């Protein structure tokens, strides 16, 4: 697995889940969860008019938060298309807004100098050829009704539609840097109980991936086609070590939500704090991963207050600490409890998830640090090596193994989401 250098350099992107489900405003799986019929779901289609949609505003917010790429749902599982697709009427062009929202999005993202990504759902709960399965909103209609509904449905025709739409998206909108296909549920451990599960044969994944690469040779493609892609995509959890597939290290990106839902979810107050989000970003980079942080804009087209607050909070931290994550990766040094290391060349970044009392002992760094400072204000952090023969006794600090570096921190924790000590390693470290 290889990806272009920008991907692991950037480290941080914005995910945007937006579509008709912003109107019910209770999770993007609402059609599935509430088994909503086509006719009923059409109400949202008839009322979709995001008059405050301003993708330049989204792009500015992303950039200020330190994000370098943006990934928009061109189509989610409900099948609704945010662009002017010639292959269906089920697009934003035929809703009251009458706009190609993808076009406006890509233009705005590029204007801010950010990279453009698409999320595209393999699943489609609207398409008449998509065979009903255990995830489909009609799954509980009873065996007879399902048999009747599935009669004449033809996944080959759906495949042609899927490939045709991807072709539109990858030819009509300039350079697309990233494609997040979503998702397969046939062959992996997590979906064994889903009947009529779908995977590579259903999507024509080999051909779809080849088409994707032919149309956009530089593109980064995720791993949810049920065949390997360029990276792996842990969702809503933090891997506790650098990720591997069959013992081989892989590029990875965790996709994370602000409140557990991807689409706008009005009454959901399970909102992660800025501090937690920053810790998640740092934790990921310390394990060689990216973070794709989601926002779910409202039906009017705006980011809600929680998203704006989170992005501003992260941006405030990134303004001073960006260099501890951008282009950084894991370190071979062993980080003390409650800390995370990231490293870029000879700069080692010590992220303090808890604030200790004055001293912190850094194993293996004795003789390897030329200078140390707090990153938020460039104030010097003193350090020393305590003679390993000295025991900890009365007023004396000691009892540290040889090669340990002891730093002295101020009593008052810097007022930032995550304080960082920047350690300048010696040439031979
Ligand atoms: C999923 C969900 C979903 C969301 C996504 C993001 O598997 O189906 O609604 O779009 O992953 O990674």
Q: For position 46, which CATH number holds? A: 3.20.20.80
Check pLDDT > 80 for residue 232: yes
Same domain, 108 and 152: yes
CA triple 358-370-345, angle to 5 deg: 105
* CA 182 to centroid of ligand 1, rounded, Å: 7
Pocket (CB within 6 angstroms of ligand 1): 17, 28-29, 182-183, 235, 255, 262
Check pLDDT > 80 for residue 1: no
Is residue 419 within 8 A of residue 352, CB to CB? The reply is yes
Same domain, 223 and 371: no
- Confirm whether 330 is domain-assigned: no
Quote the domain boundaries for residue 118: 5-324
How confident is the model over 253-297, as pLDDT tens digits?
Answer: 999 999 999 999 999 999 999 999 999 999 999 999 999 999 999
pLDDT value of position 394: 83
How confident is the model over 48-90, as pLDDT tens digits?
Answer: 999 999 999 999 999 999 999 999 999 999 999 999 999 999 9
Is residue 44 within 8 A of residue 20, CB to CB? The reply is yes
Same domain, 60 and 106: yes
Give the distance from CA 116 to its chain's centroid: 14
Same domain, 298 and 409: no
d(CA 226, CA 187): 8
- Confirm whether 35 is domain-assigned: yes
- Looking at the CA of residue 123, tell me the nearest atom of ligand 1: 8
d(CA 91, CA 164): 15
* CA 427 to centroid of ligand 1, rounded, Å: 45
Number of continuous H segments (helices) and E segments (strands) in the chain:
11, 16
Q: Which of 324, 352, 379 is the last residue of a domain?
A: 324
The pTM assigned to this predicted structure is 0.97
Same domain, 258 and 343: no
Q: Which of 324, 350, 367 is the last residue of a domain?
A: 324
Same domain, 131 and 33: yes
Same domain, 344 and 253: no
How confident is the model over 371-400, as pLDDT tens digits?
Answer: 999 999 999 999 999 999 988 888 889 999
Counting other chains too, the contacts that 369-374 makes at CB distance below 8 Å and 24 or more residues apart are 369/405, 369/423, 369/424, 369/425, 369/426, 369/429, 370/424, 370/425, 370/426, 371/423, 371/424, 372/407, 372/421, 372/422, 372/423, 372/424, 373/421, 373/422, 374/414, 374/419, 374/420, 374/421, 374/422
- Confirm whether 329 is domain-assigned: no
Output DSSP code: residue 232. Answer: B
Same domain, 272 and 357: no
- Confirm whether 143 is domain-assigned: yes
**Domains of the chain: total:** 2
pLDDT value of position 396: 82
Residue 20 — pLDDT band, cuts 50, 70, 90? very high
How confident is the model over 80-104, as pLDDT tens digits?
Answer: 999 999 999 999 999 999 999 999 9
Same domain, 63 and 178: yes
d(CA 188, CA 235): 15
* CA 28 to centroid of ligand 1, rounded, Å: 9
- Looking at the CA of residue 224, tell me the nearest atom of ligand 1: 7
Q: Which of 295, 324, 353 is the last residue of a domain?
A: 324
Same domain, 183 and 314: yes
Same domain, 54 and 170: yes
Same domain, 224 and 254: yes
* CA 258 to centroid of ligand 1, rounded, Å: 14
pLDDT value of position 127: 98
Counting other chains too, the contacts that 61-65 makes at CB distance below 8 Å and 24 or more residues apart are 61/303, 61/307, 61/308, 61/311, 61/312, 62/13, 62/14, 62/112, 62/114, 62/311, 63/112, 63/113, 63/114, 64/311, 64/312, 64/315, 65/12, 65/14, 65/311, 65/312, 65/314, 65/315, 65/318
pLDDT value of position 64: 98
Average the pLDDT over 348-367 and give the result.
98
Closest C-alpha to 65, from 266, 298, 319: 319
Average the pLDDT over 106-112 and give the result.
98
- Confirm whether 333 is domain-assigned: no
Q: What is the CATH number of the domain that holds 377?
A: 2.60.40.1180
- Confirm whether 332 is domain-assigned: no
């Amino acid at each position: 697995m290889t990806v272009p250098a920008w991907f692991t350099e950037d480290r941080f992107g914005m995910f945007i889940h937006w579509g008709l489900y912003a109107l019910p405003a209770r999770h993007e799986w609402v059609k599935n969860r509430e088994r909503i019929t086509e006719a009923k779901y059409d109400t949202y289609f008839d009322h979709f008019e995001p008059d405050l949609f301003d993708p330049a505003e989204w792009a500015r917010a992303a950039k200020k938060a330190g994000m370098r790429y943006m990934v928009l749902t061109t189509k989610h599982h409900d099948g609704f298309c945010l662009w002017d697709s010639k292959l269906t009427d089920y697009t934003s062009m035929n809703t009251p807004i009458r706009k190609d929202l993808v076009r406006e999005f890509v233009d705005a993202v590029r204007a801010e100098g950010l990279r453009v990504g698409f999320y595209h759902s393999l699943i489609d709960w609207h398409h008449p050829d998509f065979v009903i399965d255990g995830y489909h909103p009609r799954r509980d209609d009873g065996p007879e009704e399902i048999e009747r509904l599935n009669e004449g449905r033809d996944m080959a025709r759906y495949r042609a539609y899927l490939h045709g739409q991807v072709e539109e998206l990858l030819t009509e909108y300039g350079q697309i840097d990233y494609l997040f296909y979503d998702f397969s549920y046939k062959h992996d451990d997590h979906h064994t109980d889903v009947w009529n599960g779908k995977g590579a044969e259903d999507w024509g994944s080999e051909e779809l991936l080849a088409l994707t690469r032919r149309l956009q040779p530089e593109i980064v493609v995720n791993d949810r086609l049920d065949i390997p892609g360029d990276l792996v995509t842990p969702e809503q959890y933090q891997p506790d070590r650098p990720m591997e597939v069959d013992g081989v290290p892989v590029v990875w990106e965790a996709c994370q939500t602000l409140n557990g839902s991807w689409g706008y979810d009005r009454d959901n107050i399970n909102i992660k704090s800025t501090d937690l989000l920053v810790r998640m970003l740092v934790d990921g980079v310390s394990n060689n991963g990216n973070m794709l942080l989601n926002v779910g804009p409202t039906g009017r087209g705006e980011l809600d207050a929680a998203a704006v607050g989170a992005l501003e909070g992260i941006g405030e931290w990134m303004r001073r600490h960006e260099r501890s994550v951008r282009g950084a990766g894991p370190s071979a040094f062993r980080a003390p409890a409650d800390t995370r290391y990231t490293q870029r060349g000879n700069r080692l970044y010590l992220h303090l998830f808890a604030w200790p009392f004055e001293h912190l002992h850094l194993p293996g760094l004795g003789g390897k640090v030329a200078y140390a400072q707090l990153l938020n204000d460039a104030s010097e952090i003193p350090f020393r090596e305590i003679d390993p023969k000295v025991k900890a006794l009365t007023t004396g600090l000691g009892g540290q193994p040889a090669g340990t570096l002891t730093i002295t921190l101020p009593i008052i924790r810097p007022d930032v989401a995550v304080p960082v000590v920047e350690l300048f390693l010696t040439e031979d470290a």
